[in-house]
Amino acid sequence: MELAYSSDPDWCSKCKHLPCQCQQKISRTTGTGKVKMRRERRRGKDTIVIFETRMAKAALQQLLKLIQKSCGAGGTVKGDTIEIQGEHRDKIQALLEEQGLKVTRAGG
């Protein structure tokens, strides 16, 4: 629901939604801002693996949630890698670069 004005402190004047639905950048508590991404085939299906993130576990979970929502795909965090089901390399790369991360493609 789009509002014109609200005295509620959670109301966002930029996107005019309650609560804010602006796409916010992922906060990296550690890391260089570089990630690597490769495509793997698992049981005959494509999987995108994002590795060498050097990010905190909470930041990885937040990034995974953002990728899943934008791609409409399943995924998981295993250790310090993110695995996304399906072939979404271009979309994921654009999303990560939008978040301020430098993406290097590795492998397939």
Q: Give tens-digit pLDDT for 56-103.
A: 888 889 889 998 998 899 999 988 889 898 888 888 888 888 888 888
Decide: pTM greater than 0.75. Answer: no
H helix runs in 49-88, sequence order: 57-71
Helix/strand/coil for 106: coil
Q: Count of residues for the chain?
A: 108
If you ran DSSP here, which 8-state letter would residue 31 be given? S
pLDDT at 65: 92
Kindly list the structural domains of the chain, giving each domain's residue range(s) and its CATH number in brackets, ordered by start. 34-105 (3.30.780.10)
Query: Mean pLDDT throughout 1-24?
Result: 62
Report the C-alpha dihedral over residues 85, 90, 96, 100, rounded to 10 degrees.
Answer: 170
Higher pLDDT residue, 105 or 78? 78
